[in-house]
């Protein structure tokens, strides 16, 4: 008896072609059927072909998500900035249309935390955060092999200091799709511990480890960073007695009639310029301002008050001894002090 077994080659070929069309593979839930035919002879006479039963299984759900950081470098921020954006891309590398729950995960080991931290989907896909448009907070019905851009949007606190870093991981957790405009439940576990059931679409986690999650957990994450580039303005005030009525300029002392010089030194140790600087300096009690002694470097605007700093339109007038005892305050306006730059303000008084 001669037997010849023929498989359904055409069906197998079609299945192979379908699988190669998507990098994520054959969509889950696809029914895969396979049967065989048997031809044989008895006494040299061909007999009726025998068809086998159909072996059937459903393609299981291969859950595989990846998150990539789109920022080429740290996002530079200044204390007090609002709505600063970190950018990411979430890709469905699995074989099922899925939703994705999105979370911004702060790094506990960095320098500061941003405030008002939110996650939004780039709805129109233009790569630019637009508050009026990009207000979806989860990824809805992401197709196989498709990618969706996502933003973490945060405010930078005024307390953040120059060169400090705030790291944020975007965590995307695979959720059940199938209901447009409604976020599906997060897929919390796979069927690794269950036996294969060809009649059920089972779940297999295939994701790699991310920056804030492990492998094969149905999620993935990637990190981007805010970096503060701020002015770091240091202010030091010093004084030196220049002369007195007894000793002149030779080892003078702080006695009535002595001339004392005050200096305010400003140093910017930060990574950004300090702008619109206002230095207010009161004339010390028991002293009189020496008219014409006030100078600044680099150039700045000098202003004077004779009413305790309420107004700044006063012009000092020599009362006859080179001083104006009615000057109560001085103000210096510096347009800017560059990063690693400095400025100073000096003036003299006579001790009464």
Residue 4 pLDDT: 41
CA–CA distance, 71 with 69 (Å, rounded to integer):
6
Residue 262 pLDDT: 97
CA–CA distance, 297 with 279 (Å, rounded to integer):
13
Closest CA to 114 of 101, 103, 125, 105: 105
Q: With bands split at pLDDT 50, 70 and 90, how would you rate the model's confidence at 12? A: very low
Cα–Cα distances in angstroms (integers) from residue 30 to residues 57, 94, 108, 264, in the given order: 8, 14, 44, 77
What are the φ and ψ backbone dihedral angles of 287, each rounded to 5 degrees?
-135, 165
Mean pLDDT of the chain: 93
- In the predicted model, what is the mean pLDDT of residues 78-91? 97
Residue 23 pLDDT: 78
Q: With bands split at pLDDT 50, 70 and 90, how would you rate the model's confidence at 10? A: very low
Q: Where are the alpha helices (DSSP H) in the chain?
A: 9-21
CA–CA distance, 224 with 70 (Å, rounded to integer):
8
Residue-wise pLDDT for 257-278, tens only, equals: 999 999 999 999 988 999 999 9
Q: With bands split at pLDDT 50, 70 and 90, how would you rate the model's confidence at 309? A: very high
Domains and CATH numbers, the chain: 3-59 (no CATH), 63-228 (2.60.40.10), 233-351 (2.60.40.2260)
CA–CA distance, 124 with 132 (Å, rounded to integer):
11
The DSSP line for 125-172 is: -SSS--TTT----EEEEEPTT-EEEEEEEEE--TT--TT-EEEEEEEE
Residue 24 pLDDT: 80
- Residue 270 burial (CB < 10 Å; 0-12/13-18/19+)? buried
Per the CB < 8 A criterion, the answer to whether 229 and 272 are in contact is yes
Residue 271 pLDDT: 87
The secondary structure of residue 207, as a DSSP letter, is P
Residue 96 pLDDT: 97
Residue-wise pLDDT for 200-253, tens only, equals: 999 999 999 999 999 999 999 999 999 999 989 999 999 999 999 999 999 999
Residue 8 pLDDT: 37
Residue 51 predicted with pLDDT over 60: yes
SS3 label, residue 180: coil
Closest CA to 175 of 136, 140, 220, 127: 140
Residue 21 pLDDT: 63
Residue 23: which region, alpha, beta or left (left: phi > 0; alpha: psi -120 to 50)? alpha
Q: Specify the pairing of strand 342-351 against strand 36-42.
A: unpaired
HSE (CB half, 13 Å, CA atoms) of 26? Answer: 16
CA–CA distance, 218 with 6 (Å, rounded to integer):
41
């Amino acid at each position: 008896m001669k037997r010849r077994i023929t498989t359904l080659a055409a069906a197998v070929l079609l299945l192979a072609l379908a699988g190669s069309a998507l990098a994520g593979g054959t969509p889950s839930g696809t029914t895969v059927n396979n049967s065989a035919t048997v031809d044989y002879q008895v006494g040299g006479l061909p007999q009726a072909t025998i068809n086998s039963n159909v072996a059937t299984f459903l393609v299981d759900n291969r859950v595989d998500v990846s998150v990539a950081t789109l920022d080429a470098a740290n996002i530079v921020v200044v204390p007090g900035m609002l709505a600063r954006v970190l950018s990411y891309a979430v890709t469905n590398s699995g074989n099922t249309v899925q939703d994705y729950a999105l979370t911004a995960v702060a790094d506990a080991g960095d320098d500061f935390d941003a405030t008002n931290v939110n996650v939004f989907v780039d709805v129109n896909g233009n790569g630019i955060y637009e508050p009026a448009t990009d207000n979806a907070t989860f990824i809805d019905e992401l197709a196989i092999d498709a990618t969706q851009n996502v933003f973490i949007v945060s405010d930078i606190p005024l307390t953040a200091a120059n060169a400090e870093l705030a790291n944020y991981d975007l965590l995307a957790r695979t959720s059940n799709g199938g209901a447009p405009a409604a976020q599906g439940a997060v897929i919390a576990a796979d069927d690794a511990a269950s036996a294969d059931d060809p009649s059920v679409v089972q779940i297999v986690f295939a994701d790699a480890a991310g920056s804030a999650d492990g492998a094969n957990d149905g999620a993935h994450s990637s990190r981007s960073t805010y970096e503060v580039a701020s002015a770091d303005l240091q202010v030091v005030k010093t004084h030196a007695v220049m002369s007195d009525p007894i000793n002149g300029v030779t080892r003078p002392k702080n006695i009535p009639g002595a001339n004392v010089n005050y200096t305010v030194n400003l140093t910017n140790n930060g990574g950004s310029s300090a702008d619109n600087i206002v230095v207010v300096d009161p004339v010390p009690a028991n002293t009189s301002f020496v008219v014409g002694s006030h100078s600044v470097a680099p150039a700045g605007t000098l202003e004077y008050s004779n009413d305790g700093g309420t107004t700044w339109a006063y012009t000092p007038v020599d009362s006859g001894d080179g001083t104006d005892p009615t000057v109560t305050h001085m103000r210096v306006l510096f347009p800017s002090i560059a990063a690693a730059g400095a400025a100073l303000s000096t003036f003299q008084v006579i001790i009464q």
